[in-house]
Every structure is written in C-alpha cells, then in structure tokens.
Structure 1
Amino acid sequence: MATFLYRIGRFSYRRRWIVLGLWVLLLALAGAGAATMSGKMSNDFSIPGTEAQRAIDQLTERFPEAHAGGAGARVVFAAPEGKTVVDPAVQAAIGQVVGALKGAPQVARVVDPYTAKSISPDGRYAFAQVTYGVQGMELTDADRDALQDAAALGRDAGLTVEIGGDALRANPKTGVVEVIGIAVAAVVLIITLGSLVSAGLPLLTAVVGIGIGLAGVAIAARFADINSNSLILALMLGLAVGIDYALFIVSRFRHELLVRKDGAEAAGRAVGTAGSAVVFAGLTVIIALAALAIVGVPLLAGLGLSAAATVAVAVLVAITLLPALLGFTGERLVKGRLFGHATPDPESDSGPVPMGERWARFVVRFRWPVLIVAVAALGVLAIPAADLRLGLPDDGMQATDTTQRKAYDIVSTGFGPGLNGPLVVVAE
C-alpha cells in the first residue's frame, strides 16, 4: 500500500491544479446538493424489538390521543407555608396555570392535579402533567417560553412552581463552541509547527473535509432517517481527525523536503509513509463507527455511519488534496519564521533535541520505574469506578439551580423518589 500511496502523493503534487479543481468542484456540488436536496433531520429515538418500544408502538396505534412518543412536562406546585393545594386561593392559582398550559403551542393534553389526584399526602404539593403532540427536539424556543410564561402566573400568585421533563431540553446546537475549538487548534498548531503556513494547511483541509462530509449527511437525510445529532458527531470527529491526519503528512513532508530538495519526491514519500498510518488509523475509526449499525438502534446507526463517512472523506482529503496544496506552498513550508526563529525540522538530527524526544529517551531509559508509576496512577484514577452506577439521564442530574432539578427534588420530597421514574404498563 505504501507504494500506491507514494504514487498518489507524487501525482497530486505534480497535478495539483487538477486535484485542487476536482476537490473544489466536489465541495461546490456538495454544498449545492445540501442547499437544494437536504432532508429533514429526525429526532426520533426508538429501540426496535424491545418491550418498551412495543409498549410505545401499541399506545401510538391504539391511543393516538395519548401522544405516547411526544414530549412531556411536569409542572410541580408547592403551596406557601401553612397552606395546602386544596385551599380555594391556591386552587384558583393552579387552575389559572393549567388554563394557560392548555392554550400553549403544541400542547396536546394537560391533566390537572385535581382530576388526576396527583396531590401529595400532606396536601402541600401537586403536579400537572403536560403532553405535547411533538417530540421534545421539535419544540421551538417560543413553545418553551409559553411553558415558562404559564408557570410564571403561579409564581405571581405566591406559589412555588417548577417545571421538569424533556420538553425543556433544547436541541444541541453548533456555533461559537466549534469556532473557539478551531481557534484553539490553530494556536496549538502554530506553536507546534512554528509556521503559519504549516499550521494553516491542516486547518484548511479539515474544513474542506467536514464541509463535504456534513453536506453529504444532509443530502442522505432526504433518503434515510438520520438523527440531527449526527451532524454534531460528524463535525467533531471530522475536525479532529482531519487536523490530525494532515499534521502527520505535513510534518513528514517538511523533513523529506529538507533532506531531498525535491517537492514531488518529498510529497510521495510523505504520503507513502505517514499516509500509510493515516489510512490505517482512518480505517480503524471507520470500522469502529460503522459497527454501531449492528447494535440494532437506528439512532446509533445513523450517528455511526454519518461520522464514518466524514472520517472517510478526511482520509481522502489528507492523501490527495493535501499533497496538491503542498505543491503550492513548496519551500515556504520549511523557510517560514515565527517569532524571529526559523521553522525547525522535528526529525533532524542536528540542532537542539526536541522536548518530545527527550521525554521519549527518558521513558525508554527508566522504563520499569515509569511503567510502575503509570500503572499505579491508573489504579488510583480507577478507584471511583468501584462505585460506578449506570443509568439513563434524568432531571436529577441537572444543576441544582435549574427549574428541572428543583421540580425533581420537590416531587421526591412530596411524593417519594420513585415518582420521578414511572413505568408505563400496557395491557391488552
């Protein structure tokens, strides 16, 4: 495979305009396809074949008015000290909140505490159950604001009103965090490589790779059921591996160019050596992600296949587009200066020994003490795993100052902790 990759590297370097043009065309086609043919992402979560899914399917089929798969909100009320929820003034305030909830957008059903008898034994706490006609991920900020506005009516009347449930869980969004991540990666690359040009190439190729990958996922959503979280996972993995794989090849190319003074030969050898590691690492990641499809959970299958496709694009970009871009930079990659210092060759035997090499020599020389200390440190870090408890996330994991956590705690206090984890039993 090394010989084949060597030829790809040389070809891409020498025919850089052709390779660059093909990738630009592919990026344009992918962008146009995503703009015109992209499908709607799904937020459905199901596990076919499980007893819980069969129960939900039966409810959806026999009792569609129950909206078994829809979002839910639990509006919890606590009467002021010395009063109960059956006092006329408190009951009137709760009725006002329930009335506002019934008129809120997307709300399919509201069960008030007096009809459902969801009143605590001491009479101080009660809750109303709100069912939406759509899933939580499909609710808009306006829908959630209407829920909060209804609760505010009860607070204005002197009640403690908190809201729990998945209706308040907003969709994860990409934006500022990803931009900050790219900026941090750029700073690290500049410091590590000592050259603006060397640092810019991995970032540029990574952006091209994730652009094509994300566009492909958006187009695939038109023909398959793909969860909206697939875009986020594909973006994170595509950016990480895109920078990582390009960094391998750029670092090797710089060394080969200093030794051989021939750009095409240096590109071929860089792709043939470091590129082999890139292809092997990429295939490992792709196989691992694609294996999520055999679990039988559509959500995981969509996440894995979308991320695997983006990683595959990142590998192709690294072994074809990157050598072409190296053809445009040429010797500027090794003649760059940063902070008044020439760009160093990390693989050169002359000059100061890099810190990484000094550390590697230390570890090899004192391998047994280092091994013992490392194993002992891992053992200490693993101590908390002895008390590890696994479970699905709920409102009890929210921050203590959030309304979801406050609602969870009030329900636990007034009704017992079991009410926060109800079971739905379907009998035929």
Structure 2
Amino acid sequence: MAKYLYKLGMWAAKGSKKVLLGALIILIALGAIGLTLGPSFSNELTIPNTPADKAAKLISKEFSQPGLQAAKIQVVFKAPNGETLESEKWQKVIADSIGAMSKAPDVAAATTPMQLKNLNMTKQIGYGEVTFKVSALDVTSETKEAINHQLDVARKAGLTTEARGDVVLTEGGEFPVEVIGIVAAFVILAITFASFLAAGLPILSALVGLGVGMLGIVIASSFIEVQSVSLSLAAMLGLAVGIDYALFIITRFKQQLSEGYSVQESVAIANGTAGSAVLFAGVTVVIGLLGLSVAGIPFLTMMGIASALCVITTVLVSIIVLPALLGWMGHKLSPSKGKKSAGRARAVSKKQSTSKWGTFVTKRPLLVAFVSIALLATIAVPFFHINLGLPSDGTTKSTDTTERRAFDLLTEGYGEGFNASLIIGAQVANPTEATAGAIAGIQKEISGLADVQTITQPFPGPSGKLYIMTVIPKSGPDDTKTKDLVKTIRELSSRTESENGVELLVTGTTAMNIDIANKLNDALPVFAALIVVLAYVILVLVFRSILIPLKAVLGFLLSLGATLGFVVFVVQDGHLINFFGFPASSPILAFLPVILIGILFGLAMDYEIFLVSKMREVYAHTGDPRKAILDGIRDSGKVVTAAGLIMISVFIGFMLAPDAIIKSMGLALAFGVLFDAFIVRMTLVPAVMSLMGKSAWYMPKWLDRILPNIDIEGESIMHEMEKKKSA
C-alpha cells in the first residue's frame, strides 16, 4: 500500500494544477446539483416495529380519518395574574389571534381553548390547536411568519402566548459554530508549523474534503431519509479528522524537505509514509461509524453512513488533493537556505534525542500509571447511574425559544405529566357483551397506578375491537417514573389478556422515545464488544504484538468510561450546566453512547497508531524499549498533541451551538479526545509500556508468520530511498 501511495503522491505533485482543477470542477458540479435539488432533511428520530410504533399504526388504522396524521401545534395562552381567560376581553384577543392563524396558507383548521374546553383548573392557562394541511417539514416560512406574528399580536394585547408542536417556529440567526473551531485550529497549526501558509493548507484541505462530503449528503437527502443531526455530526467529525490528517502528512513533508529531498520526492515520501497511516486511521474511523448499523436502527445507521462519507472524502482529499497543493506551493515551505554547521546540527540532534515528558513518565511509570487509571476511574463513576432518553422541549430547547416557553406554560398549567401523555389502546380479540365492562375495569385499575394523574374514559373504535384512553402521568417525559409506568401498563397486559382477552398497547411520543432508548440500550453491549474485538485484531496486525493492542483496548475503555461519566456528571446530574450552556439537566441522549463508541474508537486508534508506530520502528532497529518510547514521544508526541488540541477545538466550537443535541455531542467528543489523547495515549501508554519492557513487543513466531505485514510506517519506501541515495 505504501508504494502505491508513494506513486500517487508523485503523480499528484507532478500534475498539481490538473489535480487541483479537477477537484475544483467536482466541487462546483456537486454544489450545482445540491443547489438544484435543495436539502430535504428529516427531524424524526424513530425506530420502526417497536411496541409503541406498532401500537400507533394499529390505532391510526382503526381511527383513520382525514387530517389524523397532519402536523399540529399547540398555541398556549396565559392570562395576567388575578385574571382568567374566560373574560370577554381575553376571549376576543384569543379568537382574533386563532382566527388570523387559520387564514395562513398551510393551515387547515385552528381552534381556541374555549372550543376545546381545556382551560386549566384556575382558568388562567389554556391552549388552542392549529392543524396544517401538509407535513411539518413542508410548512412554508410564510405560514410560520404569519403564526409568529399573531403570537406577537396576542402578547402585545397582554396575554402570555407561546406555541410548540410538530412545526418548529423558532429558526434562523444561528452563528456558524464551525468557524470557531477553524479559527482555533489555525492558531494551533500556526504555532506548530511557525508558518501561516503551512497552517492554512490543512484547513484548506479539510474544507475541500468536507465540502465534497457535505454536498454528497445534501444530494442524498433528496432520495433517502437523512436526519438533520446527521449533517451536524458529519460536519463535526469530517472537519476535525480532515485537519488532523493533513497535519500528519504536512509534518512528514517538512521533515523530508529538511533531510534534503526535493519537493516532489518529499510529497511522494510523505504520502507513502504518513499517507499510509492516514489511510489506515481513516479506515478504522469508517469501520467504527459503519459499525453503528449493527444496532439495526435506521436513523443511527444513516448517521454513521453520512459521517463515514465525510471521513472518506477527507481521506481521499488528504492523499490526492493535498499532495497536489504541496507539489504546487511546497517550495514555499522549504527550510531556510542557510545550512547549520555540522557541529551545531549534532548538538541540536543530541538535545532533541530526549523528551522531558517521556523522561518524566519512564522514570516513574508505576506512579504515573496508577494516577492516570485512578483519575479516569473516578471520573467514570457517574456513568453507573446513566439515564438514557430522547430530547424533549423542556430539556433541549433554550428559554429564548417559543417551544420551550410553551412547554413550561403547559407544565405550569397542567402538571409535568401533561407533556408526557400516553395513549393506551385496548385491543379485544373477541368482543362480547361483557367487553365494555371489562374495559371499564381495566381503565379503573390503570387510574389507580401510582404515577397516573388522570385517565380519559375508554372510546371505542368503529370495529368495536379497539378502545383508546389517554393517560396523563404525574411525572414528566424525561422522568424514570414515566418509564416505569409504561413498563407497568405493558406488564398488566399479560394478565388482562388471560382474564379478559384484552391486550394493552402503549404509544404516544413519550412511549416511542422510551422504546427507542431501550432499543439503543440493548444494542450498546453488542456494539461495544464488536468494536473492542475489532480494535484488538487491527492493532495486532499493525504492531505485531499481542500485549500492546490489549493495552490500547483497555485504555480505550478507560477513556470511554471517563467520557460517559463526565457527560452524566454535567448533562444528567446538572453540574456545570450553566458553564457549558445547557438549558437544563436532562437524560443522556439515547444514541450518544453508541455514537461516542464508534467515533472515539476511530480517533483513539488514530492516536495509538501515530504514536506507537514510531516506537515500533525504533524498537525494530535498536531493540531498546525505553529508547523506543522516548523517541516515539519526541518525534510523534508534538504532532499528536497538536492533533488532539485541534480535535478538541473543533468539538468545542460545536458545544457553542444552541441545539442541545449538537451541544451534548460536542461536549462528549471534546472531553473524549482530551481524556484519550492526553491521559491515555500520551501518559498511560508510555507508562505501561515502560513497565512491560521488551515483553510489550512479544509476538508468537507462529502467529507472526501467518499474519499479513501491514507497512503503515512506509519502511519499504524509506529503504528504497536510502539505496538510491547511497548509489
């Protein structure tokens, strides 16, 4: 592979202008197609064939009627203190506001709180409903503006007025958070390379790769269902790895220049050596992302595919377009023309032969290993009470949005459980004269459950085989008590089936979210086990050792546990939420652990490969394990440190996004890289390897013979180049 990448790098460097022109044409063509088709993303996070999904389809079929599946919003009104919505003055304001909303282009019907007879007990709060002719995604900006205008009209009249539902009314005006990460990455690269030009090339390369990948996702969204959160995750990951991969290749390019190779030869060698590691690292990230499909959850699979597409495009740009950029302007990155004296060069070489951090770690490996493990284990403790769930407006929306304020008003007026309503379907196998009485008895039994606030009277469907009831819990949609209530009602079904032939089905948004969280929770151990085994096998092939991969995998599990523990500490337990800008404490996003495993696995293996591959190279030549560690930290530590800081900067930029889902992913990935790159790879890895000594590189001879040799360091290329020099 290294030889092919060497040839590819030489070809790109020699034909740099043609390669760059071709890349520009591809980017423009994809942009034109993307603009023509336009984005068509979904905000739905659903899983087909869960108990709640099956129940919803059954109920929808039984009670099918025009408009049942149409998008709706609730318009919530609150009268001033000491007044009620029943006064003639406020009824007129509400009627005028709702009436005007009904005339908006996409609105099918609008009803007032008085028409729905749903004022709360104090008569101070009530909500009307607006039903649309089209799906939520198809509601036009004109309609949204008309509704928002009427909300403002009612507010000016003196009513507190907000709205929430299927249609998002608060949108636009968001700062492009990617810019923050790019600026921070540029500063880090400028310090690393001591050159603004060298700092700009990795960012340019990453933006080209990201642009191709993102446009591909936008085009795909017109033909298949792609969730909007997939785009954000793909952008976050594609930008970070794109900059990092370019950093590795440019660092090797500058190293070859300093050794006297020509620009084109330096490009080719960098592509064959660092490019091999980049390609291999990219493959591990892609494997981790595509592994998300193991969970069998469509939206999670699509998130993995979208992110993998961006990683693939950034890798391709790194090994094709970046070499062309270096071939075109690499001469401007050359070392200064004045050569150092031989004595000075030897002095510098001697000075650089040691690493202060490496020396510190290798002199006291047991203490360093103990402190590192204890620190990560302590941070991981909160993980053991993790509560997985899906977002609700009460925990993910900012109080600046009308959706969050409407959520809070409904909670104030009707209790926390109003936003967690459950739809109960009672399916009768063989209806008889005693069926109605049996259903009434079941309704009474459910009403007596601990967490039930109210339950409506059973309503029969046309067939007489299905009755529906609505349960309002006492607890909110994110409360574990609500999960327990859903479980209790479903367990009750086994008894009602045997006694009355009545099966109880539970659905509604809250029940669907609970089922999705449960499904993801079940998939987590399987996915984690798959990733761990895969990581071990890959690293055995790379490092020709059975103990170093074991150490790498255990380190990955430590950093993963610490990351999830820290996220629980902040997001779920509510510590430092104001500092990180979260609107409120909430359950951990149900699909976050799976995504984190997939992505952090790839990134952890990246850093392991770039750091330990240099150690392996030195050990193979010297047989001295301590020198291998010191040289590896000296030569690769600076690059891994810069790469880790760049990753963290990009992810911190996404932490500043107003969307709590994107914010939580940014938080998890930023601290995941922090723990893995700096505590595990740069600290724990050299400490443990120092303790293991030569045994770290043990490999049974019979196994070494049968395993393929993966030359990710490009040793074969360097041997050929040395032969050419000596000849």
**What TM-score bracket applies, with the shorter chain setting the length?**
0.7 to 0.9
1:374 Cα deviation (Å)?
Answer: 2.5
Whether the aligned pair in 1 keeps the contact of 2:30 and 2:216 (CA below 8 Å) is: yes
1:215 Cα deviation (Å)?
Answer: 2.7
**Runs of at least 5 residues in structure 2 that lack an aligned partner in the other structure:** 341-345, 426-460, 467-727
Residue 305 of structure 2 is matched in structure 1 by 305
1:96 counterpart letter in structure 2: D
**Any idea what SS the aligned residue of 1:167 has?**
coil
1:64 Cα deviation (Å)?
Answer: 5.4
2:42 counterpart letter in structure 1: N
2:95 counterpart letter in structure 1: G
Alignment of 1:168-317 (within 5 A): 168=168, 170=170, 176-317=176-317
**Any idea what SS the aligned residue of 1:94 has?**
helix
Whether the aligned pair in 1 keeps the contact of 2:106 and 2:140 (CA below 8 Å) is: no
1:387 Cα deviation (Å)?
Answer: 4.8
Q: In 2, Cα distance between the equivalents of 1:79 and 1:244?
A: 56
Q: In 1, Cα distance between the equivalents of 2:347 and 2:255?
A: 11
Whether the aligned pair in 2 keeps the contact of 1:186 and 1:199 (CA below 8 Å) is: yes
1:190 Cα deviation (Å)?
Answer: 1.2
1:315 Cα deviation (Å)?
Answer: 0.9
Residue 348 of structure 2 is matched in structure 1 by 350
Whether the aligned pair in 2 keeps the contact of 1:67 and 1:132 (CA below 8 Å) is: no
User: What TM-score comes out, normalization by structure 2 length?
Assistant: 0.52
Whether the aligned pair in 2 keeps the contact of 1:197 and 1:336 (CA below 8 Å) is: no
Q: In 2, Cα distance between the equivalents of 1:221 and 1:78?
A: 40
Change (3 A) 1:379 1:122: same
Residue 120 of structure 2 is matched in structure 1 by 120
Comparing 291-300 with 207-216, greater Cα deviation is found at: 291-300
Change (3 A) 1:362 1:169: farther
1:41 counterpart letter in structure 2: S
1:267 Cα deviation (Å)?
Answer: 2.4
1:272 Cα deviation (Å)?
Answer: 2.1
2:388 counterpart letter in structure 1: L
Offset from partner CA, 1:34-80 (integer Å, 9 cap, x none): 345x355132624222243345555766635334362x322222233
Comparing 356-365 with 84-93, greater Cα deviation is found at: 356-365
Change (3 A) 1:224 1:78: closer
**Any idea what SS the aligned residue of 2:47 has?**
coil
Residue 429 of structure 2 is matched in structure 1 by none
Residue 392 of structure 1 is matched in structure 2 by 390
Alignment of 1:46-85 (within 5 A): 46-57=46-57, 63=64, 65-68=66-69, 70=71, 72-85=72-85
Q: In 2, Cα distance between the equivalents of 1:419 and 1:156?
A: 27
**Runs of at least 5 residues in structure 1 that lack an aligned partner in the other structure:** 343-347
Alignment of 1:343-422 (within 5 A): 350=348, 357-397=355-395, 398-400=397-399, 402-422=401-421
Q: In 1, Cα distance between the equivalents of 2:59 and 2:32?
A: 41
Offset from partner CA, 1:5-60 (integer Å, 9 cap, x none): 23322333334344334433433433344345x35513262422224334555576
**Any idea what SS the aligned residue of 1:330 has?**
helix
Q: In 1, Cα distance between the equivalents of 2:272 and 2:378?
A: 41
Q: In 1, Cα distance between the equivalents of 2:351 and 2:294?
A: 48
Residue 42 of structure 1 is matched in structure 2 by 41
Q: In 1, Cα distance between the equivalents of 2:161 and 2:107?
A: 19
Residue 345 of structure 1 is matched in structure 2 by none
Whether the aligned pair in 1 keeps the contact of 2:76 and 2:410 (CA below 8 Å) is: yes
Change (3 A) 1:195 1:364: same
Whether the aligned pair in 2 keeps the contact of 1:136 and 1:170 (CA below 8 Å) is: no
1:50 counterpart letter in structure 2: T
Q: In 1, Cα distance between the equivalents of 2:123 and 2:288?
A: 54
1:258 Cα deviation (Å)?
Answer: 1.0
Comparing 193-202 with 149-158, greater Cα deviation is found at: 149-158
Whether the aligned pair in 1 keeps the contact of 2:106 and 2:132 (CA below 8 Å) is: yes
Change (3 A) 1:401 1:43: closer
1:250 Cα deviation (Å)?
Answer: 0.4
Whether the aligned pair in 1 keeps the contact of 2:170 and 2:401 (CA below 8 Å) is: no
2:348 counterpart letter in structure 1: S
1:309 Cα deviation (Å)?
Answer: 1.6
2:232 counterpart letter in structure 1: I
1:419 Cα deviation (Å)?
Answer: 0.4
Alignment of 1:136-151 (within 5 A): 136-151=136-151
Residue 609 of structure 2 is matched in structure 1 by none
| Larger RCO (CA under 8 A, 6+ residues apart) | 1
1:178 Cα deviation (Å)?
Answer: 2.7
**Any idea what SS the aligned residue of 2:24 has?**
helix
Q: In 1, Cα distance between the equivalents of 2:87 and 2:26?
A: 69
**Any idea what SS the aligned residue of 1:42 has?**
coil
Comparing 17-26 with 417-426, greater Cα deviation is found at: 17-26
Whether the aligned pair in 1 keeps the contact of 2:17 and 2:328 (CA below 8 Å) is: no
Q: In 2, Cα distance between the equivalents of 1:328 and 1:200?
A: 14
Question: What is the number of residues matched between the two proteins?
Answer: 416
1:173 Cα deviation (Å)?
Answer: 8.4
2:414 counterpart letter in structure 1: F
Offset from partner CA, 1:214-265 (integer Å, 9 cap, x none): 2323333344333444443333322221111111010011112211423333
1:282 Cα deviation (Å)?
Answer: 0.8
1:423 Cα deviation (Å)?
Answer: 2.3
Offset from partner CA, 1:160-212 (integer Å, 9 cap, x none): 32333343355688863333432332222112211122112212211221222
Q: In 2, Cα distance between the equivalents of 1:20 and 1:406?
A: 50
Q: In 1, Cα distance between the equivalents of 2:193 and 2:350?
A: 15
| Alignment RMSD | 3.3
Q: In 1, Cα distance between the equivalents of 2:151 and 2:25?
A: 53
Q: In 2, Cα distance between the equivalents of 1:215 and 1:173?
A: 22
1:319 Cα deviation (Å)?
Answer: 1.3
Change (3 A) 1:57 1:196: same
Q: In 2, Cα distance between the equivalents of 1:114 and 1:352?
A: 85
Q: In 2, Cα distance between the equivalents of 1:352 and 1:99?
A: 83
User: What TM-score comes out, normalization by structure 1 length?
Assistant: 0.84
Change (3 A) 1:266 1:142: same
